[in-house]
Structure 1
């Protein structure tokens, strides 16, 4: 699931693995992923555009696409069902892309632990400029629906306690002390949700590498989360929620789901409960 830089090189050079740069920025950053790709990427990498790969018909950002849409995205990137893939970025997006691959039945996917930050910190070479032309491939999706939650599932979990809802946003976003980060979207959180910031899963001392399993488990438990019960992760738009899900998967936990709509959907609906600093 997570690999070291030397292993990326081996898979790229010896197994013809496709390396995907998944650079993406939240709207408030005012920057596009392709711009970061042009500024510097792992040699031979192709650019995975999260926004273009997401559902174009959804009113919410970064939503899981249809199987046909994702198949077209992978095919255009030269990825077939048997193609080994290594994904990376410079922040927290790789986990979301890993989940997208997993959901549509592509299991031969690894994440470069530490991403581009680690790659560059180790003095490894980078390329600049636009992606090279790519011969298309055929990808036949095999949807795996079990790990995706809808708002109805989240509401039921909050009302019945059938699952723990864990919000990966930063404490200030969760509480409503800071704006949501998306135009027109109210701040706050779902009443009854537990806040476990995605940053607690990353080791800042080593440059965005994932914390070891034991440390991740400790972070979940210290937040009051029972790892013997089902978990639904959520965030702003289903991106950092995948960081928590990835760590749960590494722990061997299988009863997790990601709320794809996350706060972007929940916070815009008038029929769902919300809580913020002003309502606590």
Structure 2
């Protein structure tokens, strides 16, 4: 079950207009791959944003003890980050990124992990902007104009939503990964097959033995990078992609989604849940953790 709902730009604008008792707060969570050398935080302040938006930094509100980037934060770190943004438990949060649907699913999922009552994923900013809806282009000095709050989440669903490295190792070494799970990887096919370098230096390309590729770009609509609106359309898209790649996803088995560092893995997690898959979890450390912790015998390159 997804921890957030998809919302179209039109429905978002209507929600803002009709909601009178709670704040509807847009949450910009734009994040770029490190090899692009772009500064999403500076862009939030200097370029454009949806009116009244705050900026959620997935590289700031994270597990500060982990050597891997933007891993799931603990309760204290999450509550502190949300409080600094001035957010409240009864806010309706609508998450987006200026790329389209890239880092926003990761942010929406993180907020949903801590059981925020109302979380939406905007589907998406490109369509919102193209439709001529209001944008704020003034220069900003901070990531939020709301006063500091006392945000308090008291639980996390991480134990149910996140699969740790050790569990994946056990499944691979026992040979049970494909018999018991669908393991799908959101990275581009050339990276999955070890044909091109990873964007992060010193990390070999390849894939977890027993995984199948599900490149995130192929589950989104071309151009606008939106998720297909209906469950049927989403299921059909996934079926088309997997058949083209020579496999099928068994809906009776639980599914584990992964990627490079747990960002685009949430895109395919969102797609699968939108398509009706009931048991989809995220390998948070994803390929970066796997490649750095596993020996060469646990790195596959050929499709099997």
- For the criterion TM > 0.5, the same-fold answer is yes
- Give the counterpart of 1:153 among 163, 167, 170: 167
> What is aligned with 2:219?
201
Secondary structure, aligned partner of 2:167:
helix
Whether 1:124 aligns to 2:133 is yes
Whether the 8 Å CA contact 2:261–2:287 is kept in 1: the answer is: yes
Whether the 8 Å CA contact 1:157–1:165 is kept in 2: the answer is: no
Whether 1:106 aligns to 2:116 is yes
Whole-angstrom distance in 2 between the partners of 1:239 and 1:261? 10
The 1:57–1:78 alpha-carbon spacing in structure 2 relative to 1, beyond 3 Å, is same
> What is aligned with 1:276?
301
- Give the counterpart of 1:143 among 153, 156, 161: 156
Secondary structure, aligned partner of 1:18:
strand
Deviation per residue, 1:179-216 (Å, 9 max, x gap): 111122111111110001111221114x1211242233
Which stretches of structure 1, 4 residues or longer, exceed 4 Å deviation after superposition?
A: none
Whether 1:254 aligns to 2:285 is no
> What is aligned with 1:9?
13
Whole-angstrom distance in 2 between the partners of 1:218 and 1:157? 29
The 1:193–1:219 alpha-carbon spacing in structure 2 relative to 1, beyond 3 Å, is farther
> What is aligned with 1:77?
85
Whole-angstrom distance in 2 between the partners of 1:138 and 1:252? 36
CA drift of 1:243 comes to 0.8
Pairwise CA RMSD of aligned residues?
1.9
Whole-angstrom distance in 1 between the partners of 2:151 and 2:79? 5
Whether the 8 Å CA contact 2:87–2:146 is kept in 1: the answer is: no
When structure 1 is superposed on structure 2, of 65-74 and 215-224 the one drifting more is: 215-224
- Give the counterpart of 2:184 among 152, 156, 166: 166
Whole-angstrom distance in 2 between the partners of 1:213 and 1:199? 18
Aligned length: 277
